[in-house]
Structure 1
Amino acid sequence: MSARPPLRHDSVTIACPVCGGNFPLSGRRTYCSDACRALAYRRRHDIGGILPVTVPGSKSHRGFTVYECRCCGERSLGEQRCLECNTFMARVGIGGYCPSCDEPISIIDLLGEELTQARK
Protein backbone atom coordinates (compact mmCIF):
# COMPACT_ATOMS: atom_id res chain seq x y z
CA MET A 1 0.00 0.00 0.00
CA SER A 2 1.23 3.42 -0.80
CA ALA A 3 0.79 6.28 1.63
CA ARG A 4 -1.84 8.76 0.59
CA PRO A 5 -0.71 12.38 0.32
CA PRO A 6 -2.32 14.59 2.97
CA LEU A 7 -5.46 16.38 1.98
CA ARG A 8 -4.87 20.04 1.27
CA HIS A 9 -8.26 21.25 0.19
CA ASP A 10 -9.34 24.02 2.61
CA SER A 11 -13.05 23.30 2.35
CA VAL A 12 -12.51 19.64 3.27
CA THR A 13 -9.54 19.78 5.72
CA ILE A 14 -8.35 22.27 8.31
CA ALA A 15 -5.07 22.62 10.22
CA CYS A 16 -4.89 21.80 13.91
CA PRO A 17 -3.83 24.94 15.83
CA VAL A 18 -1.71 22.85 18.24
CA CYS A 19 0.27 20.43 16.08
CA GLY A 20 -0.33 21.93 12.63
CA GLY A 21 -1.53 18.64 11.13
CA ASN A 22 -4.46 18.58 8.71
CA PHE A 23 -7.66 16.72 9.56
CA PRO A 24 -11.08 16.41 7.95
CA LEU A 25 -13.56 19.09 8.86
CA SER A 26 -16.52 17.77 10.83
CA GLY A 27 -18.97 19.88 12.82
CA ARG A 28 -17.40 22.41 15.19
CA ARG A 29 -14.26 20.36 15.73
CA THR A 30 -11.17 22.57 16.09
CA TYR A 31 -8.43 20.11 17.06
CA CYS A 32 -7.29 16.92 15.37
CA SER A 33 -7.39 14.77 18.52
CA ASP A 34 -8.37 14.80 22.18
CA ALA A 35 -4.68 15.05 23.10
CA CYS A 36 -4.29 18.30 21.11
CA ARG A 37 -7.52 19.65 22.61
CA ALA A 38 -6.27 18.89 26.15
CA LEU A 39 -2.87 20.43 25.40
CA ALA A 40 -4.53 23.61 24.09
CA TYR A 41 -6.63 23.81 27.28
CA ARG A 42 -3.54 23.41 29.47
CA ARG A 43 -1.71 26.10 27.50
CA ARG A 44 -4.61 28.51 27.87
CA HIS A 45 -4.92 27.97 31.63
CA ASP A 46 -1.26 27.55 32.58
CA ILE A 47 0.50 30.64 33.92
CA GLY A 48 3.89 29.06 33.29
CA GLY A 49 5.18 29.10 36.86
CA ILE A 50 4.82 32.87 37.11
CA LEU A 51 3.42 33.97 40.43
CA PRO A 52 0.24 36.05 40.28
CA VAL A 53 0.76 39.80 40.50
CA THR A 54 -0.31 41.35 43.77
CA VAL A 55 -1.21 45.01 43.79
CA PRO A 56 0.09 46.86 46.84
CA GLY A 57 -2.46 48.60 49.00
CA SER A 58 -2.85 52.34 48.88
CA LYS A 59 -0.56 54.30 51.15
CA SER A 60 -1.79 56.90 53.58
CA HIS A 61 -0.99 60.48 52.63
CA ARG A 62 -1.17 61.56 56.25
CA GLY A 63 2.61 61.28 56.73
CA PHE A 64 3.34 64.06 54.24
CA THR A 65 0.20 66.20 54.64
CA VAL A 66 0.41 69.60 56.31
CA TYR A 67 -2.37 70.50 58.77
CA GLU A 68 -3.13 73.92 60.32
CA CYS A 69 -5.05 74.68 63.51
CA ARG A 70 -8.01 77.01 63.01
CA CYS A 71 -7.73 78.34 66.57
CA CYS A 72 -4.04 79.08 67.12
CA GLY A 73 -2.59 78.81 63.58
CA GLU A 74 -0.08 76.10 64.56
CA ARG A 75 1.00 73.82 61.71
CA SER A 76 2.09 70.19 61.85
CA LEU A 77 3.16 67.52 59.39
CA GLY A 78 1.21 64.27 59.64
CA GLU A 79 -0.57 65.10 62.92
CA GLN A 80 -4.27 65.92 62.61
CA ARG A 81 -4.80 67.06 66.21
CA CYS A 82 -3.35 70.29 67.54
CA LEU A 83 -1.15 69.71 70.59
CA GLU A 84 -1.84 73.24 71.92
CA CYS A 85 -5.66 73.40 71.55
CA ASN A 86 -6.43 69.65 71.45
CA THR A 87 -8.73 70.19 68.43
CA PHE A 88 -8.65 68.76 64.93
CA MET A 89 -6.75 70.82 62.38
CA ALA A 90 -7.68 71.64 58.79
CA ARG A 91 -5.79 70.08 55.92
CA VAL A 92 -3.64 72.58 54.03
CA GLY A 93 -2.15 70.19 51.47
CA ILE A 94 0.75 67.92 50.68
CA GLY A 95 4.12 69.19 51.82
CA GLY A 96 7.05 68.66 54.10
CA TYR A 97 9.51 70.42 56.36
CA CYS A 98 11.18 73.61 55.08
CA PRO A 99 14.93 72.98 54.70
CA SER A 100 15.87 76.43 56.07
CA CYS A 101 13.48 76.91 59.02
CA ASP A 102 12.37 73.29 59.66
CA GLU A 103 8.68 74.34 59.79
CA PRO A 104 5.90 72.42 57.97
CA ILE A 105 5.20 74.01 54.59
CA SER A 106 2.81 72.91 51.84
CA ILE A 107 3.42 72.85 48.11
CA ILE A 108 0.58 75.35 47.65
CA ASP A 109 2.47 77.82 49.90
CA LEU A 110 5.57 77.44 47.71
CA LEU A 111 3.86 77.71 44.33
CA GLY A 112 1.19 80.29 45.15
CA GLU A 113 -2.52 80.54 44.57
CA GLU A 114 -2.25 80.42 40.74
CA LEU A 115 -1.90 76.65 40.88
CA THR A 116 -5.16 76.09 42.75
CA GLN A 117 -7.13 78.47 40.54
CA ALA A 118 -5.74 76.95 37.32
CA ARG A 119 -6.90 73.46 38.38
CA LYS A 120 -10.52 74.51 38.86
Structure 2
Amino acid sequence: MSDGSPLRHDGVTIACSVCGKSFPSSGRRTYCSDACRASAYRRRRDVGIIPPAAVSRSQPRREITVYVCDSCGERSLGEQRCSECHTFMTRVGIGGYCPSCEEPIAVIDLLEEEVPQARK
Protein backbone atom coordinates (compact mmCIF):
# COMPACT_ATOMS: atom_id res chain seq x y z
CA MET A 1 0.00 0.00 0.00
CA SER A 2 2.95 2.31 0.46
CA ASP A 3 3.86 4.39 -2.57
CA GLY A 4 7.39 4.97 -1.30
CA SER A 5 6.82 8.47 0.14
CA PRO A 6 7.51 8.92 3.84
CA LEU A 7 4.56 9.38 6.17
CA ARG A 8 6.32 12.11 8.12
CA HIS A 9 8.98 14.68 7.31
CA ASP A 10 10.34 15.30 10.81
CA GLY A 11 13.80 15.76 9.40
CA VAL A 12 12.56 18.57 7.16
CA THR A 13 9.46 20.08 8.80
CA ILE A 14 7.49 19.55 12.00
CA ALA A 15 4.09 20.80 13.15
CA CYS A 16 3.80 23.47 15.84
CA SER A 17 2.09 21.99 18.90
CA VAL A 18 0.08 25.21 19.44
CA CYS A 19 -1.17 26.31 16.01
CA GLY A 20 -0.40 23.21 13.92
CA LYS A 21 1.52 25.15 11.27
CA SER A 22 4.48 23.30 9.69
CA PHE A 23 7.91 24.88 10.09
CA PRO A 24 11.51 23.84 9.39
CA SER A 25 13.11 21.70 12.07
CA SER A 26 15.93 23.42 13.92
CA GLY A 27 17.57 21.94 17.01
CA ARG A 28 15.11 21.28 19.84
CA ARG A 29 12.60 23.87 18.62
CA THR A 30 8.97 22.73 19.06
CA TYR A 31 7.06 25.95 18.29
CA CYS A 32 6.92 27.90 15.02
CA SER A 33 7.27 31.34 16.63
CA ASP A 34 7.91 33.14 19.89
CA ALA A 35 4.17 33.96 20.05
CA CYS A 36 3.26 30.24 20.01
CA ARG A 37 5.97 29.50 22.58
CA ALA A 38 4.56 32.20 24.89
CA SER A 39 1.03 30.92 24.33
CA ALA A 40 2.07 27.38 25.30
CA TYR A 41 3.75 28.73 28.43
CA ARG A 42 0.61 30.65 29.43
CA ARG A 43 -1.52 27.52 28.89
CA ARG A 44 0.77 25.48 31.14
CA ARG A 45 0.92 28.23 33.76
CA ASP A 46 -2.86 28.84 33.82
CA VAL A 47 -3.97 25.22 34.24
CA GLY A 48 -6.91 25.22 36.64
CA ILE A 49 -7.83 28.87 36.04
CA ILE A 50 -11.26 29.50 34.50
CA PRO A 51 -10.72 30.47 30.85
CA PRO A 52 -12.22 33.77 29.67
CA ALA A 53 -15.55 33.71 27.88
CA ALA A 54 -14.65 34.15 24.22
CA VAL A 55 -16.88 34.72 21.23
CA SER A 56 -15.81 34.01 17.69
CA ARG A 57 -15.23 37.05 15.52
CA SER A 58 -17.80 35.87 13.00
CA GLN A 59 -20.66 35.95 15.53
CA PRO A 60 -22.24 39.34 16.31
CA ARG A 61 -21.71 40.15 19.99
CA ARG A 62 -24.69 42.45 20.52
CA GLU A 63 -27.15 39.54 20.35
CA ILE A 64 -25.45 37.80 23.30
CA THR A 65 -24.56 40.90 25.36
CA VAL A 66 -26.46 41.75 28.55
CA TYR A 67 -27.15 45.44 29.23
CA VAL A 68 -28.42 47.13 32.42
CA CYS A 69 -30.21 50.48 32.76
CA ASP A 70 -28.45 52.87 35.15
CA SER A 71 -31.74 54.62 35.97
CA CYS A 72 -34.24 51.83 36.64
CA GLY A 73 -32.01 48.73 36.86
CA GLU A 74 -33.83 46.80 34.11
CA ARG A 75 -31.74 44.26 32.19
CA SER A 76 -31.92 43.41 28.53
CA LEU A 77 -30.29 40.89 26.21
CA GLY A 78 -29.20 42.38 22.89
CA GLU A 79 -31.12 45.67 23.27
CA GLN A 80 -29.07 48.76 24.13
CA ARG A 81 -32.00 51.11 24.84
CA CYS A 82 -34.14 50.73 27.96
CA SER A 83 -37.79 50.09 27.11
CA GLU A 84 -38.91 51.92 30.31
CA CYS A 85 -36.61 54.98 30.42
CA HIS A 86 -35.75 55.19 26.70
CA THR A 87 -32.08 55.81 27.56
CA PHE A 88 -28.98 53.90 26.55
CA MET A 89 -27.99 51.12 28.93
CA THR A 90 -24.56 50.05 30.20
CA ARG A 91 -22.98 46.81 28.98
CA VAL A 92 -22.60 44.13 31.67
CA GLY A 93 -21.00 41.42 29.51
CA ILE A 94 -21.61 38.30 27.47
CA GLY A 95 -24.57 36.25 28.65
CA GLY A 96 -28.00 34.87 27.90
CA TYR A 97 -31.35 34.07 29.47
CA CYS A 98 -31.44 32.22 32.80
CA PRO A 99 -33.06 28.78 32.24
CA SER A 100 -35.06 28.94 35.47
CA CYS A 101 -36.31 32.55 35.61
CA GLU A 102 -35.97 33.65 31.94
CA GLU A 103 -34.17 36.88 33.01
CA PRO A 104 -31.03 38.11 31.22
CA ILE A 105 -27.90 37.06 33.12
CA ALA A 106 -24.24 37.68 32.32
CA VAL A 107 -21.41 35.17 32.69
CA ILE A 108 -19.71 37.56 35.09
CA ASP A 109 -22.76 37.33 37.40
CA LEU A 110 -22.43 33.55 37.51
CA LEU A 111 -18.69 33.57 38.21
CA GLU A 112 -18.88 36.47 40.69
CA GLU A 113 -15.53 37.77 39.46
CA GLU A 114 -14.12 39.86 36.65
CA VAL A 115 -13.81 38.00 33.33
CA PRO A 116 -11.01 39.30 31.10
CA GLN A 117 -12.10 40.26 27.60
CA ALA A 118 -10.68 38.24 24.73
CA ARG A 119 -8.18 40.05 22.50
CA LYS A 120 -9.50 41.41 19.26
More helix by percentage: 1
Q: Given the two structures, how large is their TM-score scaled by the length of structure 2? A: 0.47
Larger radius of gyration, structure 1 or 2? 1
Structure number with higher relative contact order (C-alpha < 8 Å, ≥ 6 residues apart): 2
